Structure 1
Amino acid sequence: MIDHILQVTKTERVSCIGHSMGNAVFMVMLALRPEYNEKVQMFVGLGPFAVVQMDLDPVSQLLLPQVLDLVKFNKNTKATDLFRRKKVNPFVIPCWSAPTICVAILTQFLGKDNDHGTCANLMPIILGYFPSGTSNKNFHHLLSLREGNFAHFDYGTSEGNLAHYNRISPPEYNLTRVRVPVSLYYGETDSVCSTKGMKAQVKALPNLVQVSVIKGYNHMDFLLASNTRQALYENIMEDLKTAHTINNANESNDLPHNKMNIFDLKEFRKTAIKSLVKGAKEKQKSKLNRLKKKYKTKKLEIKPEIENMWADIKTKFEERKLDKKLKEENFLKKDPKITVEY
């Protein structure tokens, strides 16, 4: 994808943005193919899945082994299998009818449901692609990384790992090879990529330039929240505009405090309401000024017309008055006994 974009656009480097597994894919690419550091200007990770600590609720923790056992029987050989690519995902139909229920079910496993508003009508679109198109192996791989060990796929036996890696346990991905400037955004209530694993992720990357925690965001809010523009996208655009250079900010175990941003939803609402009120007042004032200006212009335009109209009326009135007087004078000439007083 990167090579194709560079070839078509004739540019030297491209910036990348990844959500969840998109972050893992990017990190794996640079760990295994470090030459791509020269082709990427910057990477932005949303709900970054790599060195993670899942913070699942007790119910999800209890169900997880059963889910993994069930997935083993899903061989992706039949059209009805869970991960098989389909023209129309059957999940789309119920979520088209009741999108808010689908969001509620999804957030049960991906983090706390918050009150900042959700674009639930996007759910059928997302489910048009998810979870079809992946595999059992990929599903198992992602869940095996939930305790912070960002490593290759574990084949489950010493023999399987020896055959593939020449060692009894899968090797970890070497993230020191990720030299691209990286900006990460975590959700405060995200249970899949929780803030518990944030420090380990920061320490693993040699060129992390910024870490943000979005208050009240779960794992799906990066895609579905109604305030993503103000809380997220405007900051990402600023990240991409900034020229970053390699630094050693992450040599210590501490987070880069001067680069930690907290997005406060309540403060955002206050600011948004003030901005809306101010905008409405300015709009009303501007509209009133336009009307005044329009009235003044119209008044100047119609003033000569009104004056001409009154002049015409006055002239006609005088003409009629004179005409009446002449008629009466003619009438008196015919009959001198009649007198008329004016």
Structure 2
Amino acid sequence: MGYYDVPAAIDYTLNTTSNSQLYYVGFSMGTTMFFVMMSEKPQYIDKIKAVALLAPVVHNNHLKGGLRVFSNYSNDIDDIMSLLGHYEFLPSDEAMDYLANNFCLEDDITEPICSSFLFLISGYDPEEMNDEYLPIYLTHTPAGTSVHTLNHYGQLVYKDDFQKYDWGVIGNREHYGQDTPPLYNLQEPLPPVAFYWGQNDYMATPEDVARLSTEIQNLQVNHRVEWDMWAHLDMPWGIHAKEYVYEYVLEFLSNY
């Protein structure tokens, strides 16, 4: 996604609008893809005016919650599903739609169970959860992804550095010509960058964001959301996301 999809989207946008540069706003995996692109295709720096990264995820060493438990088994799950010929993990389907619309409505007695599922992944912040929209959230989250993508995040929990997918020694020799995965280069020159992160984020933890902030160039803004309970999924869904995040993002981008 960082090597093919994001560059393709940027080129399509610039060609369609006849502009020479654009702004990049990424959330969660969208931030990971940005750093992969900058490492693998650093020429794209000239196509980006400024970068706003919400809940940046590069280092996973301090991952919390349910995904931390999952990471202990992610390689095994990847191997089993690959052997069975299943390469997509938790796609949106009719079963999830049925559960969301029949058990997760605002007045349903089972609604707290549904919201707790999301809190287990992202961090607990009921004040910013709009219960009215919970069925919509759950029909899109999880929305499905490649088994390898999820396993890559799981691998990074136990890796010291931001590196490519670990296929094992034999697979690494085949893909990379060496026993271990190459590192992504975080020292590439970057456009002006802004971070926006929450103290209660299970996926982009304060510790991991702090480490990343020391490793990249041109970090202009390192913004901790004022609300202490701000969690990962509050970035797109939080009731006060406009006041806590989006207005700051627009102010930053307006400077470039």
Q: Which residue type is aligned with residue 130 of structure 2?
A: C
What is the aligned-residue identity percentage?
24
Q: Which residue type is aligned with residue 178 of structure 2?
A: R
**Which residue does 1:65 correspond to in 2?**
72
Please give the residue correspondences for 1:154-169 in structure 2 after superposition, counting only pairs within 5 Å.
154-156=166-168, 158-169=169-180
> More helix per residue: 1 or 2?
1
| Separation in 2, partners of 1:84, 1:46 | 24
**Which residue does 1:334 correspond to in 2?**
none
| Separation in 2, partners of 1:22, 1:71 | 22
The partner residue of 1:94 within 75, 94, 99 is 99
Please give the residue correspondences for 1:38-53 in structure 2 after superposition, counting only pairs within 5 Å.
38-53=46-61
For the pair shown, which has the larger CA radius of gyration, 1 or 2?
Answer: 1
**Which residue does 2:35 correspond to in 1?**
27
Write the deviation string for residues 54-113 of structure 1: whole angstroms up to 9, x where unpaired. 3425x76455434653454334856xx863756x453222223315432211211322x1
8 A Cα contact 2:24 2:48, kept in partner: yes
Q: What's the TM-score, normalizing by structure 1? A: 0.63
**Which residue does 2:16 correspond to in 1?**
8
2:121 alignment partner, SS class: helix
Distance 1:40 1:124, change over 3 A: farther
CA-CA distance at 1:136 after TM superposition: 1.2
| Aligned residue pair count | 237
| Separation in 1, partners of 2:60, 2:43 | 25
- The alignment status of 1:200 with 2:211, answered yes or no, reads yes
- Deviates further, 9-18 or 123-132: 123-132
- The alignment status of 1:37 with 2:37, answered yes or no, reads no
CA-CA distance at 1:197 after TM superposition: 1.4
| Separation in 1, partners of 2:101, 2:242 | 24
8 A Cα contact 1:189 1:217, kept in partner: yes
**Which residue does 1:209 correspond to in 2?**
220
CA-CA distance at 1:152 after TM superposition: 0.5
Cα RMSD (Å)? 2.5
CA-CA distance at 1:163 after TM superposition: 1.8
Higher relative contact order (CA 8 A, sep 6+): 2
**Which residue does 2:250 correspond to in 1?**
237
The partner residue of 1:141 within 152, 162, 167 is 152
**Which residue does 1:335 correspond to in 2?**
none
| Separation in 2, partners of 1:150, 1:121 | 38
CA-CA distance at 1:19 after TM superposition: 1.0
2:197 alignment partner, SS class: strand
Distance 1:64 1:146, change over 3 A: closer
- Deviates further, 224-233 or 69-78: 69-78
The partner residue of 1:225 within 214, 238, 241 is 238
1:204 alignment partner, SS class: coil
Q: Structure 2: where are the runs of 5+ without partners? A: 1-8, 106-110
- The alignment status of 1:185 with 2:196, answered yes or no, reads yes
The partner residue of 1:152 within 164, 169, 182 is 164
Q: Structure 1: where are the runs of 5+ without partners? A: 244-342
| Separation in 2, partners of 1:15, 1:103 | 33
Q: Which residue type is aligned with residue 105 of structure 1?
A: F
8 A Cα contact 1:72 1:136, kept in partner: no
Write the deviation string for residues 121-152 of structure 1: whole angstroms up to 9, x where unpaired. 44444444444442111111111122552110
Q: What's the TM-score, normalizing by structure 2? A: 0.82
8 A Cα contact 1:191 1:219, kept in partner: yes
Distance 1:51 1:10, change over 3 A: same
2:72 alignment partner, SS class: helix
CA-CA distance at 1:36 after TM superposition: 0.6
CA-CA distance at 1:30 after TM superposition: 1.2
CA-CA distance at 1:41 after TM superposition: 0.9
CA-CA distance at 1:51 after TM superposition: 2.9
